[in-house]
């Protein structure tokens, strides 16, 4: 009996965290593994990969240009175009997919851009409010 109760109390938390990953806004504090209120490139990569996971619409583990560009049916051409250009910049070998090397580079570039004071970690102040 005690065991069932434990399961019941734990379950809502599990569900809540699953929902956060699936759709809700990402709280970067969840990725601050050592709790020092700063994100290292490793911690930041985890966050980004979680964010980008939703672009893999067919869940084959590959981010294709088609998936990245086509987010909804009512997007303007300009928006579609901008996304395609963005993707092409990241797609170093031009195969319309992002491999792990390309993703790592993209995240590293992102990290350097956000790390304004070049401390090799992102402080609370440097992290954007929303992505
Ligand atoms: Ca940290
Ligand atoms: Ca995919
Ligand atoms: Ca590629």
Whether residue 15 is contained in a domain is answered as no
Whether residue 131 is contained in a domain is answered as no
pLDDT higher than 80, residue 127: yes
Beta bridge mates, 123: 38
Whether residue 65 is contained in a domain is answered as yes
Which of the ligands is closest to the CA of residue 68? 2
> What's the 97 CA to ligand 2 centre distance in angstroms?
9
Whether residue 92 is contained in a domain is answered as yes
Q: In the chain, what percentage of residues exceed pLDDT 70? A: 80
Least confident of 1-5, 21-25, 84-88: 1-5
- CATH at 53: 1.10.238.10
> What's the 27 CA to ligand 3 centre distance in angstroms?
29
Selected residue with higher pLDDT from 9 and 127: 127
- Residue 11: pLDDT band (50, 70, 90) is very low
Whether residue 106 is contained in a domain is answered as yes
Which residues 6+ apart lie within 8 Å of 108 measured at CB?
41
d(CA 12, CA 5): 12
Q: How many domains in the chain? A: 1
pTM of the model: 0.71
Query: Which whole number is the average pLDDT over 97-110?
Result: 94
pLDDT higher than 80, residue 101: yes
> What is the domain range of residue 65?
26-123
Whether residue 63 is contained in a domain is answered as yes
- Residue 19: pLDDT band (50, 70, 90) is very low
> What's the 20 CA to ligand 1 centre distance in angstroms?
20
Query: Which whole number is the average pLDDT over 74-83?
Result: 91
For the stretch 44-75, pLDDT in tens is 999 999 888 888 989 998 899 999 998 778 88
Whether residue 16 is contained in a domain is answered as no
- Residue 78: pLDDT band (50, 70, 90) is very high
Whether residue 19 is contained in a domain is answered as no
Count of H-run helices and E-run strands, the chain? 5, 4
- Tokens found for residue 14: 């599990």
């Amino acid at each position: 009996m005690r065991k069932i109760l434990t399961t019941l109390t734990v379950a809502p938390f599990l569900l809540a965290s699953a929902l956060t990953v699936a759709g809700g806004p990402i709280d970067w504090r969840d990725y601050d593994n050592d709790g020092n209120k700063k994100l290292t490139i490793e911690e930041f990569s985890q966050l980004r990969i979680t964010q980008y996971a939703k672009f893999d619409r067919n869940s084959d583990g590959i981010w294709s240009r088609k998936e990245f560009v086509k987010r909804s049916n009512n997007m303007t051409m300009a928006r579609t175009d901008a996304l395609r250009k963005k993707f092409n910049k990241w797609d170093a070998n031009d195969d319309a997919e992002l491999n792990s090397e390309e993703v790592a580079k993209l995240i590293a570039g992102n990290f350097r851009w956000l790390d304004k004071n070049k401390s090799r970690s992102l402080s609370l102040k440097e992290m954007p409010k929303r992505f």
